Amino acid sequence: MKRECARSSIANLVLAVIALMGLLASGCQPGVGSPCTLSTDCGTTGALVCDTSQFEGYCTVEDCVPDECPNNAACVLFNPEIPGCAPNDHAQGSRIGQQFCMATCGSSSNCRDGYECADPTKSPWYGDILDRTPAMVCIPMPLESTDASLIISDAAVCQTVGPAFDANFPALDASDAMTDGAAVESGADAADSGD
């Protein structure tokens, strides 16, 4: 009887240790906004990756889908506009934009060193929150402010349509390209027949 009690006590102790280790391990899982050097620092499931371009790394989900970031995170589109161009209410989408899950916060004390709790839609980030619910996020502190004098709203790169027709540079016609190509070919044939 003593032997069975000892076995039962050892089995219960082993189960308690395993349960405690499971609780400790689940409490230490990195989340969105955790520091990292490699993507494996963000967990072994592959759900989060390490954005090493951020200060001390930032565990995140790249190309996030609106309203589908992990708990305590929001999907933010960065660079929704072309740098140097005035905002256009993002009507045309962005050629250079990138979406990331960012850790949500209530104040900068919720963020780690080097980050502040801020609205990513404001200066100097001018991002878009893609989720239905607006949020403040832990975002890297800006190194310098954006100079509004550098915005040139009528620059060609800022336009959503091509340049207007210019009489000095007429549009190419497919028939012109055909005749130019034929002239090159006939010139090459003439050179071959001279040998």
| pLDDT tens per residue across span 139-183 | 998 765 445 454 444 555 555 555 555 555 555 555 555 555 554
CA geometry: angle 52, 115, 103, nearest 5 deg? 75
CA distance 135 to 107: 11
Q: How many CB atoms lie within 10 A of CB 151?
A: 15
Give the pLDDT band (50/70/90) at residue 96: confident
Stated as kind and residue range, the H or E segment containing 101 is: strand 98-103
As given in the structure block, the two tokens for residue 134 are: 């607006």
Could you report the per-residue pLDDT of 104-148, keeping only the tens digit for each?
999 999 999 999 999 999 888 888 899 999 899 999 987 654 454
CA distance 54 to 149: 27
CA geometry: angle 55, 23, 34, nearest 5 deg? 5
Q: Across residues 72-82, what is the average pLDDT?
A: 85
Could you report the per-residue pLDDT of 37-55, keeping only the tens digit for each?
999 999 988 899 999 999 9
Q: Is the pTM of this model over 0.95?
A: no
| CA count, 13 A, side-chain hemisphere, 170 | 4
Backbone phi, then psi, for 192, in 5-degree steps? -65, -40
| CA count, 13 A, side-chain hemisphere, 133 | 10
Which residues, 6 or more positions from 194, have their beta carbon under 8 angstroms from its beta carbon?
none
Single-letter amino acid code for the residue at 183: A
